[in-house]
Amino acid sequence: MLAILSCDTGASRPSADDDATLPDTADQAGQSDQFDQPDQADQTDQTDQADQTDDAPLMTDDDEVLLSDADLELFAAAPVVEMNPNGLAPLTGVVTLTTIVPTRLSLSLTGPEGTRDLLFEPLATAHRHPILGLLPGESYTVRVSVTDGTGGSTTHPDIFTLTAPSLPANFPVITADLIAPEKMAPGVTYLVVTRMQGSNPGIEAFGSALVALDEKGRVSWFFKGDVPMHGVSFIDNGDIFIQFGPKLLIIDRFGDLVNGWENQQDLSADLTAVQVPNFHHSAEMMPNGKVLTLVAMTAQTENYPTSETDPNAPTMTTIVTYDDVIEVSPDGTIDGRWPLKEMLDPLRIGFGSVKPAAQWSHANYATYLAGDDSVMVSLRHQSCVVKFDRLTGALRWILGTHDGWDAAFLPYLLTPQGTPFDWNWYQHNPKLTSDGHIILFDNGNYRAIPYDTPMAAADNRSRAVQFAVDESLMTVTQTWEWGPTGDDRIYASFLGDVEYHP
């Protein structure tokens, strides 16, 4: 089950998952909001009707769009308006044109739901912009206008047609059960949809896609991949950062590769090598231009538990998968590495830390906190979120149940305050809100650690929750939660996200 609690908006966001988002089409990267402007073609060479003589012929619609050579002199050639040739993002329209002087491009896009005007910034002579928000299978007409630095504006006489392709036959069906645009922030909602080949022969594999849904829950853009996507975040210029199997990819709205990194094995010619075995779940661009991500590392560990249910079961030397947080320069150099097993107790286990494979942490998100130069990380199998100092690697605090920790870690455990209060279990994607609170998706798995009795999935639920941490007092208060109970409850045993909007 995929649980996504989000309505992403804004031209960019500081974190995505924590987060940034694709705004409505007019709010694309490098664009301003929609504007109210009369159709330029309706104004071309028109005279005040009061000045016309009885003998002057009235202008027809065809006359209004006929431009003189002088009117067309801003255009170096006719614009090209077409659907995206990149099959990875097929719902993107593309407008390309050049002008003899720097101009600002605007489009009038007319489709099944009326006309909207799109303004692209800044002034330039070469223009190539995505046209977003096109619905599958629908046709649109496009009028192209340019405005020079003095305010002189020209609308090209050609009317262009775009027909968005239908969704692939095996595209997962997405149904919006509740639509209330008046309660939503403007823009679109991003979510990752993944359906790999499983044990059910009746389910056709689709792969993975980053999907944008409009305010009515309809697919209006997607980027397709063959392996699961994780750690989606957004860069200030509107590009999208994705952890994609063994790769970290930055793509633009066309679905074209902007930059990327890959582990040292099977390196692609257009990606930068990083000397790690893999990447894991998380990718974020830091303010210093470096990449913060997670890598799953293995280490031989003595006296590792062999059972999650029997505290008296023997221990043994085991190859265990841990996680490191790393900071990577654009050239692939690892400039910072923080092994989580050295920061915490490598022998403390959760359910899933022993079987089906020895995965001690299964960290699923790391985010940089610029306010105090620290890093916050979610460790799924440890049911905790931790914060540490980026420069020294020193642990600041642990947000999670106090069960199972050795005495050495007691000073770092946040003390819960107030009611109601429930600990986070197997959480995903913690990040800061604008007021400094921590918001996360609490999957809720087990609601216990070994060797207590776990809660059965049939009785469990997931929720979105927000915490306020007082580092001076080392306390934590639950300030908000959303998570229906009873028949309306949700339960996602893995993945999930919650976004905060201004």
What is the domain-level CATH number for residue 110? 2.60.40.10
Q: What is the pLDDT of residues 374-398, one digit of tens each?
A: 999 999 999 999 999 999 999 999 9
Mean pLDDT within 399-415:
98
Strand duo 475-482 + 415-417: pairing: parallel
Asked if residue 284 is part of any domain, the answer here is yes
Among 163, 188, 210, identify where a domain stops.
163
Asked if residue 182 is part of any domain, the answer here is no
Asked if residue 406 is part of any domain, the answer here is yes
Among 141, 163, 185, identify where a domain stops.
163
What is the residue range of 299's domain? Answer: 280-502
Asked if residue 196 is part of any domain, the answer here is no
* Alpha carbons 299 and 37: distance in angstroms, whole number: 63
44 has a pLDDT exceeding 70: no
239 has a pLDDT exceeding 50: yes
Q: Is 14 left (phi over 0), alpha (psi -120 to 50) or beta?
A: alpha
Q: Would you say 156 and 105 are in contact if contact means Cβ atoms under 8 Å apart?
A: no
Same domain, yes or no: 336 and 477: yes
pLDDT for 199 equals 56
- The model's confidence at residue 235, banded by pLDDT at 50, 70 and 90, is very high
Q: 129 pairs with which residues across the strands?
A: 95
Asked if residue 168 is part of any domain, the answer here is no
- Please state the domain count of the chain: 2
- Percent of the chain exceeding pLDDT 90 equals 71
Same domain, yes or no: 421 and 284: yes
- The model's confidence at residue 51, banded by pLDDT at 50, 70 and 90, is very low
Q: What is the pLDDT of residues 285-305, one digit of tens each?
A: 999 999 999 999 999 999 999
* Alpha carbons 11 and 6: distance in angstroms, whole number: 16
pTM for the whole structure: 0.82
Closest of 418, 417, 383, 419 to residue 398, by C-alpha? 383
Asked if residue 53 is part of any domain, the answer here is yes
Q: Would you say 209 and 192 are in contact if contact means Cβ atoms under 8 Å apart?
A: yes
pLDDT for 268 equals 74
Closest of 171, 165, 176, 162 to residue 131, by C-alpha? 162
Question: To which H or E segment does residue 114 belong?
Answer: strand 114-131
Handedness of CA 389, 393, 394, 396 (dihedral sign): positive
Asked if residue 76 is part of any domain, the answer here is yes
Mean pLDDT within 233-260:
93
Same domain, yes or no: 159 and 288: no
- The model's confidence at residue 55, banded by pLDDT at 50, 70 and 90, is very low
pLDDT for 343 equals 97
Region of poorest pLDDT, from 97-111, 225-239, 290-304: 225-239
Asked if residue 172 is part of any domain, the answer here is no
Among 143, 163, 183, identify where a domain stops.
163
Same domain, yes or no: 151 and 291: no
Nearest 5°: phi and psi at 12?
A: -155, 170
Q: Would you say 229 and 242 are in contact if contact means Cβ atoms under 8 Å apart?
A: yes
Q: What is the pLDDT of residues 144-171, one digit of tens each?
A: 999 999 998 999 999 999 999 999 998 9
